[in-house]
Structure 1
Amino acid sequence: MAKIKKRGESGAAKNYITRTQALKKLQISLSDFRRLCILKGIYPREPTNKKKANKGSSAPASFYYSKDILYLLHEPLLAKFREHKTFAKKLARALGRGEWALAKGLEERKPLARLDHLVKERYPTFKQALADLNDPLSLLSLFERLPRDPVPGKTQVPTEVTAECGKLLAEWKIWAIRTHALRKVFLSIKGVYYECEVPAGRSGETVNVRWLEPWEFKQTVPADVDFRILLTFLDLYRTLTSFVLFKLYTDENLVYPPQLDVKLDAEGEGIGRFKLVERAPDAQAATADGEKKITKKDVKKSIRTIAHSAAAGGMQVDEEEEDVLVKDEPAAEEEFTYHPSKHDTDASDPSNAPLPTYTSLLANTASDGPATAEKGYNIFAPYTFYLSRETSSRTWEFVIRAFGGKVITTPSLNELSTVPEIASQITHILLDRPMDPATMRTLQGTHKWTWVQPQWVADCANKRTVLPAGEGSGYEPGGTLPPHVSPWDEEGRDDRPWLGTEASAAAAAIEGEASEDEDAEMDTAEAGDELTPALRAAAENPEDSTLVHQAELEAEAAGVDHAAFKKQLAGAAKKGAAASGSKAPAAGGDEDLRKIMMTGKKQRLYEKMQYSNNERRQESILTLPVTSQTDKLASKRQAIEKRKKKGGK
């Protein structure tokens, strides 16, 4: 005999658990449960049958996977939450009794929950962490712009949190400037979109990280936003960003976190208040012989650098050769040369050149990799920009420095000519307000400055080339700027680096021919059919007041007089009546084809609409004058009498 299954012990009732049951099992409050689910990445689920999942009850409830809740039972943060609850009770009791010394001691020993293990769990590899870095940077930028002054009666984000967000963003931007990782910039209403190309490992893979940074306007903290949820996400994102930055700085042989210049910070300096310092760990400590010790990481980095630089000459350094060089690290003076085989036709070919020696590798350990000027990532290197006070220095300093340029923000524009040592270095003036040419010549004096609007910098960065900025280009102060197309949009045909000049020109020609063909087809259709769809529908059904009203509204919007509209409607109705014999079967066939293409649900809806239209037509007939109603009833009576006579005979 088969075992009888009991209700609620299998199926959906066992696989799902309600939120109330989860709180009882975990023994935590609702706020702690929400925070724990956000940090662990556990979200509510929608069962197929809610009644079965809720053991026969139809009451509304939120469901979670039972395995997810069992997974949370072993989370170390649960112990921290309970410790914090105990701490809060003790602190409240001490404050209520006026025991200030005890309260101060409790505050110093406040339990803090670390999220390092969560980052390692959710992002096992560095590439996965980079792929999920878009939202953290955007949220950090949002909180960094929140006001830091306390607002009475409103939820206020702690000042320490906003300061930490600004610090992490500055560290990220400094790294992007150092490595020239910035690729694209887009100015939108919401703010500025950036995209950086970040190396994700030894194999040369890269991950594009894109984030949004709001404009430097005064932000108003909304009262209806639950900042506790946002701060929970922010705690995880801050930890993740710190992990990623440590990895990136270490790969560049830099000390993390970078040193803060107190003087520049007090003067209100932006990302320039941090200074990058070369890392000097045990790997570069002096040995007993007074020589520096080189680690495997330095050698591998040098091999990758030389492999990139030698790719143009045909030399290849594969992973096996790289492993040999790393394993033979103690043999500092041994040279690994390439011996031409008998199948080689030319020993003087660059591909047959000897492999780099260990000594030559050490000489390139400080190299920044392949030249960025060839790829267009260092286009502003010869130029020095002066940022006017109305421009966003935070935005344009980052973009200009990331592409190799230099930035000057002081003194003011009117006092710039009084400081010749600074004025002589400037090549471009970034101005975001209209200015008279005579005034520009007066301020410029004998110096040769190029006056441009900020959009010129963004367009040059996206095109990876220096665009013309003279008169007539639209980038001069007060000029009409060209369209700022999104570099990620397919419509931005000019920003396709994978297409050459000839290929892009051919693609543009093809698109032009296609657009001309479409325009010709439109002109032909308009010449052959002058009636609008609404007017044609009203002419086919003149009794439908809705269609006639719609056609009348379209004619009014097009500027057609009411009398002219009546004539058009009457003429279209006559043409339709004259050709009704020939066009009726085609219309019916088109209607059948339309119904065939519809789903069953849409077919039923279409039939209901047709039925409703017929009912409205019948109602409109009943509202005719009394004389016409009498005539219609009389004709019906005559028809009935004729049928009776025929039946009697």
Structure 2
Amino acid sequence: MGKIKKKGASGQAKNFITRTQAVRKLQISLPDFRRLCIFKGIYPREPRNKKKASKTATPSTTFYYTRDIQYLLHEPLLAKFREQKALSKKIARSLGRGEVGDAARLEKTFAPKITLDHIIKERYPTFIDALRDLDDALSLLFLFANLPSTTTVPPKTIARCQRLCHEFQHYLITTNSLRKSFLSIKGIYYQATVQGQDIMWLVPYRFVQRVTGDVDFRIMGTFVEFYTTLLSFVNFRLYTSIGLVYPPKFDAKRDEGGAELGAFTLEGRKMDAQKAIEPEQPNGSVDKASTDIQAKVDTILEKVQLNKEQDVHITDAQEENNDAIDTFEATGPEADILPQPELSGDEAGSLFVPFTFFISREAPRPPLEFLLRAFGCKRIGWDSVLGEGAFTHDEADTRITHQIVDRPPLSESALPPLPSNPTEGTEATPRIRPGTRVPGRTYVQPQWIWDCVNEGKLLRPDLYAPGATLPPHLSPWVKPSTGGYDPRAPLEEQEEEGEAQRIAEEEGFESEGEESEEEVDMAKNLLADNDEDVSEEESVDGGMDVADSEDDSEEDDEDEIMVDKFAGADDEPEEASSGDEDEEETARTQHQRELEAEAAGLPFSSAVGAEASEKDSKKKKKGPLAKKHASKKKKEEEELERQRMMMSRKKRKLFDKMQYSNKKRDEEAEKLRRKRRKLEEELKK
């Protein structure tokens, strides 16, 4: 006789444990259990059969792996949680007795310090693992960096998130690791390539955030505590890998003045690159230091120009040894589009090098400054109201080559007056009238920066002039597929042969049908009058005109069919065959209605037949191109059906799914092409 198995000792009941049982086994409270699971990366699991996994009669909702809970028994943080719980009891006892001094002393002296260093090393044994898990960390830390301080979100947490995020941005600026960015409804997406790993995160727009009560900030605060430790480890490793001192020097006064990225000073082997990032003079005055910097920049630009001229004369043998990234071109028009390689750090770092930008007050300064610095721009100016750290605050500076404006151009009468001079005792900053244009300067909208970054080259600035209709801002991660709609490509290259003429014919027939509605109403009224006369005659004859009406309708149908046959004799055989099928279908439906009327004992009115035939003719009224397109589609469907019959059942299902998705994609692409065609026609008018 075999052993009798005890219930709950094997199978899913042994592999899974409920949350209540796990809390009792660890002997901690539920909030501490949640916090510990977040730190260790342990999440609830879903068993295949909840009845078998549950050891009780009541249904349980949350299960964990038993081995995960067994692993938590040896966690050093459990002792810290118990110490913290015991200390909280002592503090509560002291406050109950009115001993406030003792309670403050206990909290200051005996509060346990919780460190997560050992957990970071356990969860990420290699540095590449930490980089792969950095997407969620950056998104959450950038979110908390933009939140207002409340009771649930203390200002210390916000300040630490801001500092870690700025340090990570400085690394991307120094190494030119940023690759793409996209403006979406949720916020601004960024993608950087760090040591071969693509990292993407989301930064919310800087609007006034309303913190609601339906968000559990305790759970999010636990994630922030873990992610701040992770990002500090990552920043330390990244800075030391390129020879920079971590943490960088932080100027609190400049940070209070709104300098943000300008409040940090990097030290180490990359200090020369950081000197180019440091601002010149906040008031924009041209002194000896500024002239020295300008002279250095001019020499750098001359060297860059000489290098470009030398690159033109490079021989073919030298080009083979060049480190430039090759591009893959399609071999034919119907070939697959190969994914192109990303930009290199040198190419990204030289995109905006020779330019000096000025950011207007209405444009978002933080994301623009970050993008420009990450792609090589060393001289960025903005108005003094946007904060410190600018290359110049003078909008009339002659060194400015590009100005970012996010407002439409105004006429001279609508321009606001020149701002009043500042009070005595302060330095007067030269100002120009708002809305005016400085000759020799390129004015662009902010989208030009993002599109240039995503394309990896400088685009035409006249397409992004203030007040101009901007090109579509598309996601750089969505590549156009074969057969799909591409907003960037011309419409003539995407549409099928004769598609525009066919749609124009269909729209013309629809407009003709709309114009003839009054005539249809008049015909209906005349037919109704005739029906009244016919009903009077039927009442006199005893109501036996059903057969006569059938014969008349049949004769009319035969005459119409014969006329249609003779009229379509000169057409192509395909069109004639399709016309015959339509007429046969019309006669069949009319005959069916006559039979139904006879069975019901009602006279079949000629008006009903006329109205039905009129509706059918409206629906089936097509031009020659539409008929040709329909016949072509029909042939293709027949060919696909023949191929489908030769497949196995499994392949047939896959083929049907593929055909369904292709048909849906083609319909959506045709719909978008129609919309674009209408818009282009309206613009031409």
Which interval holds the TM-score relative to the shorter structure?
0.5 to 0.7
What are the within-5 Å matches in structure 2 for residues 129-208 of structure 1? 129-148=130-149, 150=150, 156-199=152-195, 206-208=196-198
Work out the CA distance in 2 between the residues paired with 1:78 and 1:567: 83
Kept after mapping to 1: 8 A contact 2:180/2:191: yes
The aligned counterpart of 2:403 is 429
What are the within-5 Å matches in structure 2 for residues 9-408 of structure 1? 9-55=9-55, 57-109=57-109, 110-148=111-149, 150=150, 156-199=152-195, 206-278=196-268, 375-405=347-377, 406-408=379-381
| Aligned residue among 444, 459, 465 for 2:457 | 465
Q: Which amino acid aligns with 2:254?
A: L
- Secondary structure of the equivalent of 1:190? coil
Work out the CA distance in 1 between the residues paired with 2:11 and 2:394: 82
Gap regions ≥5 residues in structure 1: 200-205, 281-312, 314-347, 352-370, 494-503, 531-535, 545-561, 576-589, 600-649
Does the C-alpha gap of structure 1 residues 514 and 50 become closer, same or farther in structure 2, counting only changes over 3 Å?
A: same
Work out the CA distance in 1 between the residues paired with 2:52 and 2:190: 48
Shift of 1:211: 0.6
Work out the CA distance in 2 between the residues paired with 1:263 and 1:573: 75
Any idea what the Cα deviations from partners look like across 1:591-632, whole Å, max 9, x if unmatched?
xx9xx9999xxxxxxxxxxxxxxxxxxxxxxxxxxxxxxxxx
- Answering whether residue 479 of structure 2 is matched by residue 479 of structure 1, we say no
The aligned counterpart of 1:607 is none
Between the aligned residues of both structures, percent identity stands at 47
Q: Which amino acid aligns with 1:379?
A: L
Any idea what the Cα deviations from partners look like across 1:494-524, whole Å, max 9, x if unmatched?
xxxxxxxxxx9xx969x96563249379769
Work out the CA distance in 2 between the residues paired with 1:269 and 1:208: 29
Does the C-alpha gap of structure 1 residues 85 and 428 become closer, same or farther in structure 2, counting only changes over 3 Å?
A: same
Shift of 1:96: 2.4
Work out the CA distance in 2 between the residues paired with 1:83 and 1:373: 50
What are the within-5 Å matches in structure 2 for residues 446-465 of structure 1? 448-465=440-457
Shift of 1:565: 7.8
The aligned counterpart of 2:659 is none
- Secondary structure of the equivalent of 2:371? helix
Work out the CA distance in 2 between the residues paired with 1:42 and 1:518: 59
Work out the CA distance in 2 between the residues paired with 1:216 and 1:237: 22
Shift of 1:212: 0.6
Q: Which amino acid aligns with 1:469?
A: P
Q: Which amino acid aligns with 2:360?
A: S
Shift of 1:40: 1.2
Any idea what the Cα deviations from partners look like across 1:346-394, whole Å, max 9, x if unmatched?
xx9999xxxxxxxxxxxxxxxxxxx968524321111111111111111
Gap regions ≥5 residues in structure 2: 271-310, 312-317, 322-342, 417-431, 510-574, 580-584, 594-607, 622-640, 654-685
Work out the CA distance in 1 between the residues paired with 2:394 and 2:148: 39
Q: Which amino acid aligns with 2:381?
A: I
Shift of 1:569: 4.5
Work out the CA distance in 1 between the residues paired with 2:210 and 2:23: 35
Q: Which amino acid aligns with 1:135?
A: D
Q: Which amino acid aligns with 2:446?
A: P
Q: Which amino acid aligns with 1:424?
A: T
Work out the CA distance in 1 between the residues paired with 2:456 and 2:145: 30
Shift of 1:101: 2.2
Shift of 1:220: 0.7
Q: Which amino acid aligns with 1:145?
A: N
Work out the CA distance in 1 between the residues paired with 2:44 and 2:79: 23
Work out the CA distance in 1 between the residues paired with 2:85 and 2:591: 76
Work out the CA distance in 2 between the residues paired with 1:190 and 1:84: 39
Q: Which amino acid aligns with 1:516?
A: E
Q: Which amino acid aligns with 1:116?
A: D
Does the C-alpha gap of structure 1 residues 262 and 44 become closer, same or farther in structure 2, counting only changes over 3 Å?
A: closer
Shift of 1:425: 2.1
Matched length: 446
The aligned counterpart of 1:627 is none
The aligned counterpart of 1:2 is 2
Any idea what the Cα deviations from partners look like across 1:518-544, whole Å, max 9, x if unmatched?
9379769979899xxxxx99x979999
Does the C-alpha gap of structure 1 residues 487 and 103 become closer, same or farther in structure 2, counting only changes over 3 Å?
A: same
Kept after mapping to 1: 8 A contact 2:40/2:119: yes
Work out the CA distance in 1 between the residues paired with 2:79 and 2:13: 29
Does the C-alpha gap of structure 1 residues 141 and 446 become closer, same or farther in structure 2, counting only changes over 3 Å?
A: closer
Does the C-alpha gap of structure 1 residues 39 and 520 become closer, same or farther in structure 2, counting only changes over 3 Å?
A: same
Shift of 1:124: 1.0
Work out the CA distance in 2 between the residues paired with 1:573 and 1:515: 25
Work out the CA distance in 1 between the residues paired with 2:613 and 2:34: 69
- Secondary structure of the equivalent of 1:64? strand
Shift of 1:255: 1.3
Q: Which amino acid aligns with 1:435?
A: P
Does the C-alpha gap of structure 1 residues 93 and 563 become closer, same or farther in structure 2, counting only changes over 3 Å?
A: farther
Q: List structure 1 runs of 4+ shifted beyond 4 angstroms.
A: 348-351, 371-374, 418-422, 437-447, 511-514, 520-530, 539-544, 562-575, 596-599
Shift of 1:160: 0.9
- Secondary structure of the equivalent of 1:423? coil
User: RMSD over aligned Cα, in angstroms?
Assistant: 4.4
What are the within-5 Å matches in structure 2 for residues 546-625 of structure 1? 568-569=614-615
| Aligned residue among 499, 503, 515 for 1:519 | 499
Which TM-score applies when normalising by structure 2? 0.58
Does the C-alpha gap of structure 1 residues 513 and 455 become closer, same or farther in structure 2, counting only changes over 3 Å?
A: closer
What are the within-5 Å matches in structure 2 for residues 465-544 of structure 1? 465-470=457-462, 473=463, 475-491=464-480, 515-517=495-497, 519=499
Shift of 1:419: 7.8
The aligned counterpart of 2:560 is none
Kept after mapping to 2: 8 A contact 1:44/1:62: yes
- Secondary structure of the equivalent of 1:196? strand
- Secondary structure of the equivalent of 2:207? coil
Kept after mapping to 1: 8 A contact 2:152/2:218: no
The aligned counterpart of 1:290 is none
- Secondary structure of the equivalent of 1:256? coil
